[in-house]
Chains A and B, each alone.
Chain A
Amino acid sequence: MSWAAHDLEPYVIQKELGKRVAFVPLLVGSYAPDMMSKWFVYGVGLAGVELKADNPAQFHRGWPGVGFTHSLAFGLVIGLLLYVIWRNEVVAYSFVIGQWAHALTDTGDTVGTMLLFPFTDHLFAVGAWAYAGQTGRYVDAGAYFSGLGFVWDGVFVVWGILSWRILTRRYFRETVMAADPFWRWAGRYVSETTLVALYRASFFYGAARWAAWLVWAHVVRSFAFDFRWGGPRWVPRVYARELNAARASTCKCPGCCSMRPRLGFYGIVAVCAVAKGRSSSIRSALAEAPRVRRPRLRRRGARG
């Protein structure tokens, strides 16, 4: 998981793509995978009852769980829904880009993401920094800001600062507002200063939070830096191979053991769906089409 990259990536993407993307769907897409699940990963107390996933890593990134929100297909499905609702392809693919950025960024930790779900629930992980969501929010923060994770976030902080033009009021007016219908709608109700502040809010949140957690982890507390691959080693971490192996050992069905049967299953479903659609269309075409009598070809040899 990343603590600041998901806030800052949309700005970098905005800088690179300019008016070809709409900022709000991009940002929502970037937040979408963790929007409904993160609280259950870390746990929350309600009326004396603590709600927390038994296996946070499995719940957050795996299947069964809400790991499908970190798949590429999830972005496509939601993007398609957005297109159906708004009929605006820029909104749709901006969401897809934001969600894909999140899913790809999260492959950086030791658990990774189910990128190719539903074709496979295999977790793809680069393993650069430790996934320690099961330890709770504070230890996870301390671990993240002591390993390569905070370096990765730092790349986006620096990249964002170097792209300072995207934060100017002028850029907001000329590019962001022009490309995104949300700002034009919101502009009817609130002042431009408020809109610009809201536009900058995620950058502010990402950059300031990155600095604040860093100060908290190493000044207020004293977590030890460990920049080794997959570190820090002092935190109990979860690996993708554990979850992948556990799934294969607990469930012996072909879908859990390998990718090919599952692909085959979805392939058969797709072929059936296409065949059904084609047969009905052929049937309707035959019913509606005017009958044309074709002259029979006489066989010369048939007479004699």
Chain B
Amino acid sequence: MSVAADEEREGLADALGDEPQQSDDDEDGRGTEHLARRRDDEQRGEAAEDDARDREGPSGVGAEPEPDEERGAEHHEPENHGGRVGPPPDVQDRTSSRVHTRPVRGDGARELREAFAAGRRELALYLAAGVVYVAIGAAVPEFLFTWVVAAVYLLLCVVVLPVLTRRLFRA
């Protein structure tokens, strides 16, 4: 079984997700209200998207969708798909209300706190990978020469290693 398939099965993407809406609702009252309203809107939006999916079939993006993952209608914004991928225009009208439910940009500190709380594991993984990369690179500069080495190293650290660790601990 491939690593990607393992990862899909184990829902690693969700475990490492840095979605702000996955953070604790108890941080403050405003956040709870906001998230509750947002969930209502999202349910409506997802219903609309389900209709659209029934009509047009699989979109082809992420052939193996992660079960718990929110691939909401805001993921498919037809204006950016050049009319090739995404729901038809009538769905856009129904789902456009979701766009207005996003957090206000000016509320950057709270957004940062939420994102950090939800994605701290992932952030820690990347930071650790970065520190090790810098240490290896400073000792052996040839390690720094190509992008390919860095990309493979990163994939090993943040994708393959967590999957292997999980499997090892489960076994």
A residues whose Cβ falls under 8 Å from a Cβ of B: 7, 19, 31, 88, 90, 137-138, 141, 164, 168-170, 173-174, 177-179, 184, 187-194, 197-198, 200-202, 204-205, 207-209, 211-213, 215-216, 219-220
Contacts and interface: CB of A to CB of B under 8 A. Distances in A.
A92 B101 CA distance: 33
**Interface SS of chain A: helix, strand, loop or mixed?**
helix
Contact of B61 (A19, A187, A201): A187
Given A19-B80, A191-B13, A169 B18 contact: yes
Contacts of A209: 137, 144, 150
Interface stretch (B32-40, B41-49, B68-76, B87-95): B68-76
Which residue among B12, B76, B158 has the maximum number of chain A CB atoms within 10 Å of its CB?
B158
Interface string B133-171: 110111101001101001100110011000000000000
A137 to B, nearest CB: 8
Contacts of B138: 212, 215-216, 219-220
A211 to B, nearest CB: 5
A226 B74 CA distance: 50
B126 A188 contact: no
Of the four ranges (under 10, 10 to 19, 20 to 34, 35 or more), the interface on chain B belongs to 35 or more
A202 B146 CA distance: 11
A219 B138 CA distance: 9
Nearest to B12: A193
Given A169-B18, A178-B81, A194-B159, A204 B75 contact: no
Given A193-B13, A197-B154, A205-B147, 6 more contacts: A31-B147, A179-B80, A194-B159, A201-B150, A212-B134, A212-B141
B42 to A, nearest CB: 13
A138 B141 contact: yes
A215 B13 CA distance: 33
A197 B155 contact: yes
A223 B141 CA distance: 15
B60 interface: yes
B13 A201 contact: no
B23 to A, nearest CB: 12
A193 B154 contact: no
B20 A170 contact: yes
Contacts of A197: 154-155, 158-159
8 contacts: A90-B82, A173-B75, A174-B74, A191-B66, A194-B4, A198-B155, A202-B147, A220-B138
B7 interface: yes
Contacts of B158: 193, 197
Given A174-B74, A194-B4, A208 B137 contact: yes
